[in-house]
Structure 1
Amino acid sequence: MPLTSVKPRCLLPLANVPLIEYTLEFLAQSNHVSEVYLMCSSHAEQIQEYLDDSKWVSPSSPFKKIQTITSHESRSVGDAMRDIDARGIINGDFVLVSGDVVTNLDLGKVVNLHKLRKQQDRDYICTMVLKQASELHRSRSFIEPSCFILDKETNRCLYYQDIPPVDGAKSTVSIDPEVLDNVGEFTVKNDLIDCHVDICTPVVPTIFQENFDYQDLRTDWVKGVLTSDLLKKHIYAYITAHHYAARVESWQTYDV
């Protein structure tokens, strides 16, 4: 704000290129994405107009289909996922990505790992992409830190907790010891940037639909899945150290 009151953030220019171009190029280069759906809670007509004049709808486009979907009531990822589930759009594995991500990540490697995990773990439902970052990383400094507890051998996420900054006090993480049952070695990490790129199975929208209080992707959905005694589903992490990945989610990150 205030720019986004009259124009969607994904059409704001970054180095003279609309943000949405970085996201679509990222998806196109993987050679694994054939259909793209852009969930819009506002300014959908501007995004559709932009797409109609873009290379993404030409006969040479790498996408078989690209479509905007207006979801006026959506105020969160959870709302958008419930809308997607209600429309019956998703019938296979999919990439969930924020429309403000700038990255040179090799998505193909993550998708291949996703396919392997589906074969090895029948309870697997999602891989979230995280970037290794130092404490002073410029993009990291504007994002609330989070704690991920991972199985050291497989990178299966055992527990997640966001760590809101506390003035003059140290943050703490409390975990039920039962979470670590049958786990050999585990690692506790709070040096990761959430890339907001997730490879998901069709079960993911269904879980959002069944839990209307799930709004945020990490704080609500991931934490809820990992602590549920009923779901017993597994979420894994893909950690990259050498690729660039950051969201343009504020004036500060736009400047970075």
Structure 2
Amino acid sequence: RELDKRGLVRSDPFLLMHGDVVTNADVKGALEAHRARKKKDNAAIMTMLFKRVGGWDYTEGDNNEGDSAAGPATPYVRSSPLRPVSDDLVVGLDPTDAHGTRVLLYDSTPRKPSLSLPTSFFASHSRIDLRSDLLDCGIDVCSPDVLARFSDEFDYQDVRRHFVANSCAEEEEGLQNRIYAHVLGEGEYAARVHDFGTYGAVSRDLLRRWCYPVVPDNLPSGYEKRYRYQLTAGGRRFVYRETKGGGGSAG
């Protein structure tokens, strides 16, 4: 609301990105697709970026160490380490929309036992995919209409839980603000550092070079004045060695 009031954002479209995002994604394709949609449909005001990370895996655990008298095995849930503990995101998508993959449902409520979709959606959309294998990258391509909508709706406090969820659920055609999805391709990486768990997962991915060229031995200009990492062979593995102040190296 403050950005809209001061008129600081003048780009159309503009990128809205969380400060804890680590990415090597090329958003040029998402920007071009958003511009093309906006020319044909003025209500297409936002494009969200997602990454495939796999869904939830419910596994029958064995916490009884073979003791059948202790009762049945306890099931446990396993998901991508890039997901925060509170992430129960389910996204409803219509891949048959004329302008792209439209988002019809965005629900990230933790431990919610059920989902709701307007019945009118099943009449107006020939296909709706419910997906739990997508990670919200925290990167959005937005039109200035997003800022204006926030200024009009004073009860909106969160972009995802309020603005996105309510915009997707709007049934009346004239009031709809359409949101679309852009799924990152192979080799593109994007994740948010929500907590210590995701911090560890993202750090491991950086060391494994999944986010190249964002890797320890290719830090942005200016870092080399203090320290630098070099990738060297160490036995059968590659290791990073730190060089400080242009001097010797430390393991």
TM range (shorter): 0.5 to 0.7
> What TM-score, normalized to structure 1?
0.63
CA contact (8 A) 1:159 1:179 kept: no
CA contact (8 A) 2:106 2:164 kept: yes
* Alpha-carbon distance between aligned partners in 2 of 1:141 and 1:88, rounded to the nearest angstrom: 34
- Specify which of 157, 164, 172 is matched with residue 110 of structure 2: 164
CA contact (8 A) 1:133 1:241 kept: no
Query: Within 5 Å, which residues of 2 pair with 1:1-256?
Result: 82-91=1-10, 92-135=12-55, 136-153=79-96, 154-165=100-111, 171-228=113-170, 229=172, 231-242=175-186, 243-256=188-201
Question: Shift of residue 180 of structure 1?
Answer: 3.0
- Rg: which structure is higher? 2
* Alpha-carbon distance between aligned partners in 2 of 1:189 and 1:100, rounded to the nearest angstrom: 24
- The percent identity for this pair of structures is 33
Unaligned runs of 5+ in 2: 56-78, 202-251
Question: Shift of residue 227 of structure 1?
Answer: 2.7
Q: Secondary structure at the match of 2:124?
A: coil
Residue by residue, what CA displacement relative to the aligned partner does 1:59-111 show, whole Å, maximum 9, x if unpaired?
xxxxxxxxxxxxxxxxxxxxxxx110111112332100011100111111111
* Alpha-carbon distance between aligned partners in 1 of 2:47 and 2:115, rounded to the nearest angstrom: 23
CA contact (8 A) 2:84 2:197 kept: no
The residue type paired with residue 144 of structure 1 is: D
Question: Shift of residue 202 of structure 1?
Answer: 0.6
Partner of 1:61: none
Question: Shift of residue 231 of structure 1?
Answer: 2.6
CA contact (8 A) 1:159 1:223 kept: yes
> What TM-score, normalized to structure 2?
0.64
> Which stretch shifts more, 125-134 or 182-191?
182-191
> Which stretch shifts more, 221-230 or 109-118?
221-230
* Alpha-carbon distance between aligned partners in 1 of 2:114 and 2:3, rounded to the nearest angstrom: 36
Q: 1:143 to 1:239 in 2, by over 3 A?
A: farther
> Which stretch shifts more, 199-208 or 118-127?
118-127
Partner of 2:240: none
CA RMSD of aligned residues (A): 1.7
* Alpha-carbon distance between aligned partners in 1 of 2:163 and 2:122, rounded to the nearest angstrom: 20
CA contact (8 A) 1:129 1:198 kept: yes
The residue type paired with residue 22 of structure 2 is: V
CA contact (8 A) 1:142 1:253 kept: no
* Alpha-carbon distance between aligned partners in 1 of 2:34 and 2:118, rounded to the nearest angstrom: 28
Unaligned runs of 5+ in 1: 1-81
Task: Report the structure, 1 or 2, having the larger helix content.
Answer: 1
